[in-house]
């Protein structure tokens, strides 16, 4: 079973792209060490760790369905001359451990752009961090290594989830960190990474957690996210608020109000609401129903009804995150292309 070590990073110098490290051979040197540690290379005869790594990675990058013969030909570029059988003998559990260890070593390097000029609205925060994940379905034979969610073919017994964070102001990337496919976004390995003071954290509903939002507030950070259906809202006087009574009714109409979010947490936030066109709302409902069917889960009537609106909550002050400018620029990060279409139809890009 692959080693599930934590992905704690070791930073490079600011502005130093990862490809510079690759030119200096640091990844190759590390690959040679990891190959011995994992047992993938026990005695160096023809293959070293770096040779095996580049043969398979570059071979499959150029030819996803590469045959053993093609891979052995790729090895010759490293001046390694091996037979098809020798390549075949490398496909072992220890080889899988080796590649997992290499991936962890690569993603531990801080990837950061040389120079980034963020939009003016983003410069008002210490950092702007986006978080998301993606799931890759694997063959069922790997279910003991990477557990999926079961159910239909689209949600097989084996799956791998990749978690990433991206900081917009500096162009910095964290991850991908790997977990079982069934791991919820709330349990992301990156959740324990501290955010800079004064940062804005942007995520979709999979990461909606009032306890974490409240904790970020205490640490002088801010959050921008969609509102989860069924979440209790209170007015500034702490009286229960009925969302249906305050939603804007005209297409393109935007409305903002101060609320407290959560029956227990009562986190003070701004509620941002936008009524979207019917075609966009219908497309959202189609996507929601298709996703519920894929996951073999029921979907509430309230969730389907609220597809007529884009509803966000944020604790960032209006001076730092104005309604129109913030939504137009940040809707892309909320994993909802239909929200962006609606916002661009009614909001200027200035």
pLDDT number for residue 172: 81
In a domain, 156, yes or no: yes
- Max mean pLDDT range (80-94, 166-180, 215-229, 329-343): 215-229
In a domain, 114, yes or no: no
In a domain, 12, yes or no: no
Q: CATH number of the domain that 314 lies in? A: 3.90.350
State whether 170 and 57 are in the same domain.
no
In a domain, 178, yes or no: yes
State whether 211 and 90 are in the same domain.
no
In a domain, 13, yes or no: no
Give pLDDT tens digits for 254-291.
899 999 999 999 999 999 999 999 999 999 999 889 88
State whether 134 and 59 are in the same domain.
no
Angle, CA 279 vertex, CA 284 and CA 231 arms, to 5°: 35
State whether 248 and 311 are in the same domain.
yes
Q: How many domains does the chain have?
A: 2
Those residues with Cβ within 8 angstroms of residue 187's Cβ, 6 or more apart along the chain or in another chain: 179
- For residue 280, give its domain range: 120-346
Query: What percent of the chain is predicted at pLDDT more than 90?
Result: 25
The span from the CA of 343 to the CA of 92, in Å, is 51
Query: Which phi and psi angles does 49 have, rounded to 5°?
Result: -60, -45
More confident residue, 19 or 58: 58
Provide the token pair at 305.
């009804």
> Does position 241 have pLDDT exceeding 90, yes or no?
yes
In a domain, 333, yes or no: yes
pTM here is: 0.75
State whether 285 and 258 are in the same domain.
yes
Give pLDDT tens digits for 13-42.
333 343 334 444 677 888 888 888 888 888
Mean of pLDDT values over 332-337: 50
pLDDT number for residue 263: 93
Instruction: Find the length of the chain.
Output: 350
Those residues with Cβ within 8 angstroms of residue 191's Cβ, 6 or more apart along the chain or in another chain: 212
Sheet holding 158-167, edge to edge: 172-180, 158-167, 128-138, 200-203, 222-226, 309-314, 267-275, 254-261, 233-234, 240-241
Q: CB count, 10 Å around CB of 280?
A: 21
Of 38, 108, 125, 59, the C-alpha closest to 320 is 125
Among residues 72, 107, 142, the one where a domain terminates is 107
Query: What percent of the chain is predicted at pLDDT more than 70?
Result: 80
In a domain, 197, yes or no: yes
State whether 192 and 284 are in the same domain.
yes
Mean of pLDDT values over 232-244: 93
Among residues 79, 107, 135, the one where a domain terminates is 107
State whether 322 and 187 are in the same domain.
yes
**DSSP structure class, residue 169:** T
Provide the token pair at 196.
């800079």
State whether 272 and 133 are in the same domain.
yes
State whether 36 and 131 are in the same domain.
no
Which pLDDT band, with edges at 50, 70 and 90, does 200 fall under?
A: very high
- Max mean pLDDT range (95-104, 112-121, 252-261): 252-261
Of 86, 87, 102, the C-alpha closest to 36 is 102
Among residues 77, 107, 137, the one where a domain terminates is 107
Question: Which H, E and C letters describe 213-228, residue by residue?
Answer: HHHHHHCCCEEEEECC
State whether 129 and 158 are in the same domain.
yes
State whether 211 and 342 are in the same domain.
yes
Query: Which phi and psi angles does 197 have, rounded to 5°?
Result: -65, 140
Of 160, 130, 184, the C-alpha closest to 335 is 130
Query: Which phi and psi angles does 21 have, rounded to 5°?
Result: -60, -40
The span from the CA of 87 to the CA of 47, in Å, is 10
Mean of pLDDT values over 49-63: 89
């Amino acid at each position: 079973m692959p080693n599930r070590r934590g992905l704690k990073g070791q930073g490079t110098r600011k502005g130093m792209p990862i490809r510079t490290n690759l030119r200096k051979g640091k990844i190759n040197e590390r690959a040679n060490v990891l190959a011995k540690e994992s047992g993938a290379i026990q005695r160096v005869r023809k293959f070293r760790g770096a040779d095996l790594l580049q043969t398979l990675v570059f071979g499959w990058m150029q030819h996803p369905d590469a045959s053993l013969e093609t891979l052995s030909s790729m090895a010759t570029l490293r001046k390694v001359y091996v037979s098809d059988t020798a390549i075949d003998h490398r496909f072992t559990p220890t080889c899988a451990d080796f590649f997992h260890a290499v991936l962890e070593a690569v993603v531990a390097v801080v990837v950061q752009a040389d120079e980034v000029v963020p939009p003016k609205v983003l410069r008002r925060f210490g950092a702007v961090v986006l978080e998301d994940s993606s799931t890759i379905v694997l063959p069922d034979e790997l279910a003991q290594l990477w557990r999926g969610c079961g159910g239909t073919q689209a949600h097989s017994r084996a799956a791998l989830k990749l978690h990433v964070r991206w900081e917009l102001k500096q162009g910095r990337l964290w991850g991908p960190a790997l977990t079982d496919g069934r791991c919820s976004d709330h349990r992301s390995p990156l959740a324990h990474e501290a955010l800079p003071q004064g940062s804005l954290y942007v995520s979709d509903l999979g990461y909606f957690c009032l306890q974490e939002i409240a904790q970020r507030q205490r640490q002088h950070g801010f959050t921008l996210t969609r509102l989860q259906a069924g979440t209790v809202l209170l007015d500034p006087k702490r009286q229960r608020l009925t969302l249906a009574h305050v939603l804007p009714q005209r297409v393109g109409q935007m409305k903002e109000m101060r609320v407290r979010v959560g029956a227990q947490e009562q986190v003070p936030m701004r509620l941002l609401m936008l009524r979207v066109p019917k075609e966009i709302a219908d497309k959202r409902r189609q996507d929601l129903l298709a996703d519920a069917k894929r996951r073999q889960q029921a979907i509430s009537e309230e969730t389907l009804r609220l597809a007529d609106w884009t509803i966000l909550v944020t604790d960032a002050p209006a001076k730092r995150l104005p309604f129109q400018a913030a939504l137009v620029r940040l809707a892309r990060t909320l994993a909802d292309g239909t929200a962006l279409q609606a916002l661009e139809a009614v909001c200027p890009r200035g």
